[in-house]
Chain A
Amino acid sequence: MNRHFSSTNRSGFFVGLAVLAFAGILAWQTALIPHGGAYAQVGPTIVPWMVTALLAVLGIGLMIESLFQRAPSSEDHGEFGIHALSWLVLGLLLNLFLIAPLGFIIASSLLFVCTARAFGSTRLLRDAAIGFTLALIAYIAFDRLLGYRIGGGLIENLF
């Protein structure tokens, strides 16, 4: 027994360690901030140091807490579905890398299709049609209402 418990606690320990490591990065970055000479006492580094210290203490606190099992994770997260997550991540990456060369409408349509797939849709053509229409309407509305063109692109240049 207790297998579930010990695994949550181990993850809790590593979460604390990650927070502490992050505080380490902040300390390094804070040390790089030049302090403001005459205003040394209330300079630009004092609050960053406070945040760094806060996160370091909290990181250690989270590690200690995980050892004593004071607050085991209350929520049951359910089964981890790598398949669905992969589709979603694929969609986000396509959007990120294609939005500049191909334009908002195509990139977002692809994102829409991949997201729908991640959430279990198998009707590719329907999703593509809806995603495309949605992106097109959004693009035109943005242009007409706000006066902003969301960049150029294959479809966008037709207008």
Chain B
Amino acid sequence: METLSYLAQGFSVALAPENLMWSLVGVTIGTMVGVLPGIGPALTIALLLPLTYQVDAASAFMLFAGIYYGAMYGGSTTSILLNTPGETATIVTAIEGNKMARKGRAGAALATAAIGSFVAGTIGTILLTFLAAPVVDFALRFGPAEYFALMVLAFITVSAVLTSSILRGLTSLGMGIFLGLIGIDLQTGQPRFTFGIVELLDGIDVIVVAVGLFAIGETLYLAAYRKSAGAELIVVKDSIWMKAEDWKRSWKPWLRGAFIGFPLGAIPAGGAELPTFLSYWIEKRLSKHKEEFGHGAIEGVAGPEAANNSSTAGVLVPLLALGLPTSATAAIILSAFTSYGIQPGPTLLTSQPELVWGLIASLYVANVALLVLNLPLIGLWVKILQIPRPLLYGGILVFATLGTYGISQSVIDLALLYAMGVMGFLMRRFDFPVAPVIIGMILGPLAEQEFRRAMTISQGDVGIFFQRPLSLTLLVIALVAVIGPLAWRIIVKRKMALR
């Protein structure tokens, strides 16, 4: 029960007025960016990274975690009322949620999404609370070889899962690792990939890459390929209090969603999208009202919304215990640790207990705050949804300039930002996923460090990665993740041919 006393200490940190304020600011901003299509938590946290120069670490991470949680809540509002997902993790919610809204059941859909997010977010946070320490104990046995193997596995799954083609996912990842390598090699002092540009010696800032890809690239894409048909905003007519029938049909999907989302968030499976699809599929199979699916089944909102929130808690397990980001947002939060000079990884829990436990405690607070923000205050978010698109994108670009140019005041950074924007535009146009770029950029240099450490220990013998059982196991799983889908496709084709 040591954990509980740590958690109690955590609460004393999280409930300190200043930290509480940052947490509340975080969930409010998070809900707002969740509601607004085109801006996600990764972009927002990247834009707020300059805060790390002024605010103390605990407060900043509470702010970031609040944004991460809040975006999952807010995204569902847009999916339900506008049929445009506010976040990628709420795509599935749009399927049933918007149908419910069209039938005049917007209130019930919003309620099951918010309450489900609360239930699953809290379950996820409880699991995080009790799993953090055991995972750390396990991870302390890891050597550089195991870390490298684990990162390779993360690379593969992040690029392979849920991207239309593993080749495209891996290409994005390779681009990300390349971007991460730019600058002076810290071990030998040699400049790499700097193309003779002095400004590149320090490397490219993650803010520039994230904001370029997510804000500039996305805006360029939307301007070039604007869909002519405007989406219709549905007015909430019914009560946001669910009927007994709705509760009865929602509580099991909430719980199932929570237990699907958490483990899938914790393993490197590329964030919150996969668990929502899986939850939707399971609810559709288990539902007694199968005929309602596709026409506004409440289970199809309750399950996925629970799943995306608990997966967010799951993502924090490897992030806090191993220093391993499994989503683009987590990768950017990881880069904030470095900006504070804090070494992420298994030692974090012992070296920064106040920070970690304060952060975990703040998540409980955030969930309660988000429930309040998202149900009684739903009218406010509907207003934000009504911001005209021209002004919204104008604003996004002004903030993008602010976030990149504001601190450095370097026109080169701005030019790099736009170059990243063009890259993001092309990637979007040719169906390359963007998240692996961010993960590759941040995790790539760390993986290289572990690789070189391991190789130094083994005196240049690559065998070290295959002789240690755990590292071998991880690499084999990574290999299966690459070859598995390809082999599966070939087998299916053979079978089709035999018929």
A and B associate = yes
The residues of A with any CB-CB pair to B shorter than 8 Å are 11-12, 15, 19, 26, 29-30, 33-36, 39, 41-44, 46-48, 51, 54-55, 58-59, 61-62, 65, 70-71, 73-75, 77-82, 84-85, 87-89, 91-92, 95-96, 99-100, 104, 107-108, 111-113, 115-121, 127, 130-131, 134-135, 138, 142, 145-148, 150-151
Q: Name the residue of chain B whose CB is nearest to the CB of A86.
A: B223
Give every chain A residue within 8 A of B181 (Cβ-Cβ).
47-48, 51
* Also in contact, A118 and B223, with CB within 8 A (given A47-B451, A127-B394): yes
Q: Among A77, A87, A142, which residue has its beta carbon within 8 angstroms of that of B406?
A: A142
Given the known interface contacts A29-B193, A62-B168, A81-B226, the answer about A99 and B53 at a Cβ–Cβ threshold of 8 Å is no
- Chain B residues with CB under 8 A of A35: 190
- B443-458 near A? 1/0 per residue, CB < 8 Å: 0100010011001100
Interface string of B427-463 (1 = CB under 8 A from A): 0011100000000000010001001100110011000
Is there an interface contact between A58 and B394, defined as CB atoms closer than 8 Å? no
- Tell me if B376 counts as interface (CB < 8 A to partner A): no
Interface string of B206-231 (1 = CB under 8 A from A): 00000000001001101111111000
Task: With A47-B448, A148-B406 as known contacts, state yes or no: A88 contacts B431, CB within 8 Å.
Answer: no
Q: Do B174 and A119 touch across chains, with their CB atoms under 8 A apart?
A: no
A64 and chain B: residue at smallest CB distance: B167
A77 to B: closest C-beta gap in Å: 5
Give A35 to B189 CA distance when docked, in angstroms.
Answer: 10
The answer to whether B401 and A108 touch across the interface, beta carbons within 8 angstroms, is yes
Using A78-B225, A78-B226, A138-B398 as known contacts, say yes or no to A121 and B178 having CB atoms under 8 A apart: no
Scan B176-192; emit 1 where CB is below 8 A from any A CB, else 0. Answer: 01100100010110111
Please indicate the chain B residues that have their CB under 8 angstroms from the CB of A61 in the complex: 167
B44-97 interface with A by 8 A CB criterion: 50-51, 53-54
CB of A140 to closest CB in B, whole Å? 12
**In the complex, what residue of chain A is closest to B448 when comparing beta carbons?**
A47
Contact call A73/B430, Cβ cutoff below 8 A: yes
Given A44-B190, A146-B54, the answer on whether A115 and B390 have CB atoms closer than 8 Å is yes
Assess the A100–B174 pair: CB atoms within 8 A.
no
Asked if A112 and B394 sit within 8 Å, CB to CB, the answer is yes
- Say how far A59's CB is from chain B's closest CB, in angstroms: 8
Q: Is B407 an interface residue (CB 8 A)?
A: yes
How many angstroms from the CA of A112 to the CA of B399 in the assembled complex? 10
- In the complex, the answer to whether A62 meets B455 with C-beta atoms within 8 Å is no
**From DSSP, what is the main secondary structure of chain B's interface residues?**
helix
* CB nearest to A71 among chain B residues: B165
What CA separation (Å) do A150 and B421 show in the bound complex? 22
- Whose C-beta in chain A lies nearest to the C-beta of B173? A54
- Check if B397 sits within 8 Å of A111, measured CB to CB: yes
Contact A81 B401 (CB under 8 A): no
Per the bound structure, the CA–CA distance linking A71 and B485 in Å amounts to 13
Is B395 an interface position by the 8 A CB rule?
A: yes
User: B418 interface residue, CB < 8 Å from A?
Assistant: yes
Question: Do the beta carbons of B394 and A42 come within 8 Å of each other?
Answer: no
Contacts of A47 in B (CB 8 A): 177, 181, 444, 448, 451-452
Q: Is B418 in contact with A96, judged by CB distance below 8 angstroms?
A: yes
Binding-face segment, B11-19, B362-370, B409-417 = B409-417
Q: A96-B414, A120-B389 are in contact. Are A51 and B168 (CB under 8 A)?
A: no
Q: Report whether A150 and B406 are in contact in the complex, using a CB–CB cutoff of 8 Å.
A: yes
A115 and B456 contact, CB distance less than 8 A: no
CB pair B188 A62 closer than 8 Å: no
Are B406 and A48 interface neighbours, CB within 8 A? no
Q: List 8 A-B contacts (CB under 8 A).
A: A33-B191, A43-B188, A54-B170, A58-B174, A61-B167, A88-B223, A112-B398, A120-B389
Interface status of B134 (Cβ within 8 A of chain A): no
**In the complex, A30→B456 CA distance in Å?**
21
Q: Are B192 and A33 in contact (CB under 8 A)?
A: yes
The answer on a CB contact under 8 Å between B167 and A65 is: yes
**Chain A min CB distance to B182 (Å):** 10
Which of A41, A62, A74, A130 makes the CB contact (< 8 A) with B460? A41
Q: Which residues of A contact B489 (CB under 8 A)?
A: 70
**Are B50 and A146 in contact (CB-based, < 8 A)?**
yes
Q: Shortest 6 CB-CB distances between A and B: which pairs?
A: A121-B390, A41-B460, A116-B390, A36-B188, A112-B394, A119-B390
Q: How far is the CA of A49 from the CA of B143 in the complex (A)?
A: 24
Instruction: Tell me whether A88 and B220 are in contact in the complex, defined as CB-CB below 8 angstroms, given that A71-B164, A74-B164, A77-B429 are known contacts.
Output: yes
Partner of A95, one of B167, B389, B414, B452: B414
Q: Which residues of B contact A39 (CB under 8 A)?
A: 187-188, 456
Q: How far is the CB of A30 from chain B (nearest CB, A)?
A: 8
Contact A99–B456 (Cβ < 8 Å) = no
For the complex formed, measure the closest distance between the CB of B3 and the CB atoms of chain A, giving whole angstroms: 36
Residues of A within 8 A of B293 (CB): none
Distance of A33 Cα from B178 Cα, bound (Å):
14
Residue among B390, B418, B489 with max Cβ neighbours from chain A (10 Å):
B390
Q: Do the beta carbons of B391 and A116 come within 8 Å of each other?
A: yes
Is B337's beta carbon under 8 Å from chain A?
Answer: no
Check if A44 sits within 8 Å of B393, measured CB to CB: no
A103 CB to nearest B CB, Å: 11
Q: Is B341 an interface residue (CB 8 A)?
A: no
What is the minimal beta-carbon distance from B50 to any residue of chain A, in angstroms?
A: 6
Indicate if the CB atoms of B455 and A51 lie closer than 8 Å: no
> Given contacts A115-B397, A145-B54, are A121 and B430 in contact (CB under 8 A)?
no
Q: Chain B residue with minimal CB distance to A130? A: B391
Assembly CA distance A8 to B146 (angstroms): 41
* Residues from chain B with Cβ under 8 Å of A138 in the complex: 398-399, 402
Contacts of B388 in A (CB 8 A): 121
Q: Contact: B187 with A88, CB < 8 Å? A: no
CA–CA, A19 and B191, complex, Å:
23
Min CB distance A63 to B, Å, is: 10
**List of B residues within 8 angstroms of A81 by Cβ:** 223-226
Contact at A119–B389, with CB atoms within 8 Å? yes
Q: Which of B165, B225, B407 contacts A65 (CB 8 A)?
A: B165
